[in-house]
Structure 1
Amino acid sequence: MTASAQPSPLPKSNASASLLANILANTYVDHLPLNRQEMRYARRGVHLPRATLCEWKLAAAELLEVLLPPLRAHQLQAPRMHVDDTTLPLLEKGRTATRTARLWGYLGAGQREENGVWVDHPPAVVFEFAESRSGSHPLRYLQKYKGYLQADAYSGHGALYETGDIVEVGCWAHCRRRFFEIAKAQSKPGLAAQALQWIASLYAIESRIRDQTPDLKYAARQIDALPVLAQFRQWLEGNVIGLPAQAPLAKAFGYALRHWPALVR
């Protein structure tokens, strides 16, 4: 007797579920492009052309699409959301050159208090492809979301906060990056290096309370971080005077001061 082969999730294909899972894991977890996967399988004596791997990857993604609605529904119930985008080269049929597209990443996570106990919301990440960086993409995705949103200061995010259902939370990493790039290029420490010291003191507080519950974090921030923030704000306002408006340092100061309410939220 011959054992029956396990049916493939894909019609008219001999690709097993475990093989498809392996291709997806190689691609999206281990970041292996299909040409390297093709070589890896060849070393094991398996002939799998990258064109076949590509077809299987796309077909497997279409099968997994059924998971998107419940994943999004779970994600949009998170107390806080994070969003950012990155560039992506797009090569279209009939074109010889790539153009720049976007990949938007959304992370839902956080903790909420239930009956006096802090409960974790299991984090969930969704990536969405878009052909542009238009603010209409996050606005459509987050149209029913209510909670805190941490994002960069991209002007396209402005419409997200108009109803008040989404509360803007600034990102200190984006603020710090502007001072860091200036300080890195200077031979002698200046105002940018001093700004980094202020931000480092805030980071030290966050590092110390990282594993605490939200109520203890809040208390520590009120006691320890608020005085630092108040002094830092005073320092920024005092030292921005006289800086050339178009200088990178003036823009770094301006970024921090313009987005201060979101940064201290």
Structure 2
Amino acid sequence: MRVDDGHHGAGSSGHQAACSVTVEKFEDAMPLYRQSQQYARFGVSLSPSTLGDWSAFALDVLAPVAERIEERVLGSFYLRADDTGMRVLDRDHPAGVKRGHIWAFVGAGLVAFLYAPDWKAKHPAALLQGFTGYLQGDGYAGYGAMLRGGEDGEMIVPEERRLGCGMHIRAKFEKAAKGGDTRAAVALSYFKAIYRIEAACKEEALSTEARLTRRQERSLPVVDELYQWIHELHLRLVPGTPLCIATQYAINQEATWRRCFTDGHFEIDNGEVERQLRRVALGRKNYLFAGSDKGAERLAIGYTIFGSCRMHGVNPLAWATDVIGKLQAGWPRGRLDELLPDAWAKSPRAAPVAGDADAT
């Protein structure tokens, strides 16, 4: 099922239907052709292209909100990032389809998704030109190639402002363990102890200062023991084996991961971004590909607004219906922040979804 690109406008009187179609597509990962079949069972004939027009209308109206979310996220002090592939139809590609990428950025309690037509570092670099904070991610080599202002510019995120991800490090050892190397269980036991401390910090609702103190007293000694074991074992491993790959990755990421424990504001992994990208993966499994770069850009808008709603437990249908109505009625651009999910969640119109808010 392709993602439709064009639209003819749903009109203000039909924006509630457009909201429903759009929410089902992004929150329930229901492709337009399945929604068309669902309507047919109720005796309503609506083609996938018509539903695509409605969805495109809703996303185009909501685009300014998505842009403001992007500004808030990319302007934050602490930013978490990762990406996932997206198949996109392309007439100029030899295979007729190319691999684009959807980037997810979490910051300031919101999430922004942005589409890039390939995996080159210039795309996230263009987004991060004004960024001066700390960036958390995996071992993507492109972070080191992102320069401010072009080829002769300074590095946007120098080594001292990069944060690693404990989940990515642990995953390498999990893979080695599943492959039958029992020695990987030692590393996994250390990770279990570290994450148990993190869980207790959240259960006790510790302040950032108290969490830093707890990490210094309890977590860092475990991290030290883990890396002592990794360094000693790595010298004895056969290159290219799963466990050697795991220890090498851990060594490469040691400095950036240790940095996560130096500030109580930082998480020790990129888990929130991973959770946000699962929605993209689920939708991708159902609709298979985007019909064009423009269609993929609209997908990014949808994941931005509804992902941010999810982070604050906001009912996406109630939010979209209310916000589209206000935007069509001429809501001033200078007051867009009032429509963002974090602010809207505190308004009288908010209809929360119980138990659906993600921790940030």
Q: TM-score range with shorter-chain normalisation?
A: 0.7 to 0.9
For 1:50, which of 48, 65, 88 is the aligned residue? Answer: 48
Cα shift readout 1:39-95 (whole Å, capped 9, x = no counterpart): 111122221100111122223222222223322222233231111111111123587
> Matches of 1:184 and 1:12 in 2, distance apart?
52
After superposition, the Cα gap between the structure-2 partners of 1:11 and 1:199, relative to the gap in structure 1 and judged at 3 Å, is closer
Alignment of 1:217-232 (within 5 A): 217-232=211-226
2:62 alignment counterpart = 64
For 2:236, which of 236, 242, 246 is the aligned residue? Answer: 242
1:115 alignment counterpart = none
After superposition, the Cα gap between the structure-2 partners of 1:76 and 1:94, relative to the gap in structure 1 and judged at 3 Å, is closer
Which of structures 1 and 2 has the larger relative contact order (alpha carbons within 8 angstroms, sep 6+)?
2
Alignment of 1:1-265 (within 5 A): 11=9, 16-93=14-91, 97-109=96-108, 123-160=109-146, 162-163=155-156, 167-186=161-180, 190-210=182-202, 211-265=205-259
Rg (Cα) greater in structure: 1
20-29 or 237-246, which moves further after superposition?
237-246
TM-score by length of 1: 0.84
After superposition, the Cα gap between the structure-2 partners of 1:174 and 1:126, relative to the gap in structure 1 and judged at 3 Å, is same
After superposition, the Cα gap between the structure-2 partners of 1:164 and 1:40, relative to the gap in structure 1 and judged at 3 Å, is closer
> Matches of 1:43 and 1:94 in 2, distance apart?
39
- Secondary structure at the counterpart of residue 76 of structure 2: coil
> Matches of 2:75 and 2:12 in 1, distance apart?
39
Cα shift readout 1:207-264 (whole Å, capped 9, x = no counterpart): 1102321111101000001111111111111111121222221111011111111111
- Secondary structure at the counterpart of residue 87 of structure 2: strand
> Matches of 1:184 and 1:215 in 2, distance apart?
38
Q: CA deviation at 1:171?
A: 0.3
Root mean square deviation, CA, Å: 2.3
CA contact (8 A) 2:164 2:256 kept: yes
After superposition, the Cα gap between the structure-2 partners of 1:97 and 1:204, relative to the gap in structure 1 and judged at 3 Å, is same
CA contact (8 A) 2:40 2:46 kept: yes
> Matches of 2:241 and 2:12 in 1, distance apart?
61
> Matches of 1:14 and 1:220 in 2, distance apart?
54
TM-score by length of 2: 0.63
> Matches of 1:43 and 1:14 in 2, distance apart?
26
In percent, how many aligned pairs have the same letter? 28
Partner amino acid, structure 2, of 1:178: K
> Matches of 2:10 and 2:165 in 1, distance apart?
49
- Secondary structure at the counterpart of residue 225 of structure 1: helix
Partner amino acid, structure 2, of 1:259: Q
> Matches of 1:170 and 1:226 in 2, distance apart?
15
Partner amino acid, structure 1, of 2:225: Q
2:345 alignment counterpart = none
91-100 or 202-211, which moves further after superposition?
91-100
> Matches of 2:213 and 2:176 in 1, distance apart?
34
- Secondary structure at the counterpart of residue 227 of structure 2: helix
> Matches of 1:56 and 1:196 in 2, distance apart?
48
> Matches of 1:185 and 1:214 in 2, distance apart?
38
> Matches of 2:176 and 2:253 in 1, distance apart?
19
Structure 2 residue runs without a partner (length 5+): 1-7, 148-154, 260-360
1:7 alignment counterpart = none
Cα shift readout 1:75-133 (whole Å, capped 9, x = no counterpart): 23323111111111112358774332111111113xxxxxxxxxxxxx11111111111
- Secondary structure at the counterpart of residue 16 of structure 1: helix
Partner amino acid, structure 2, of 1:198: Y
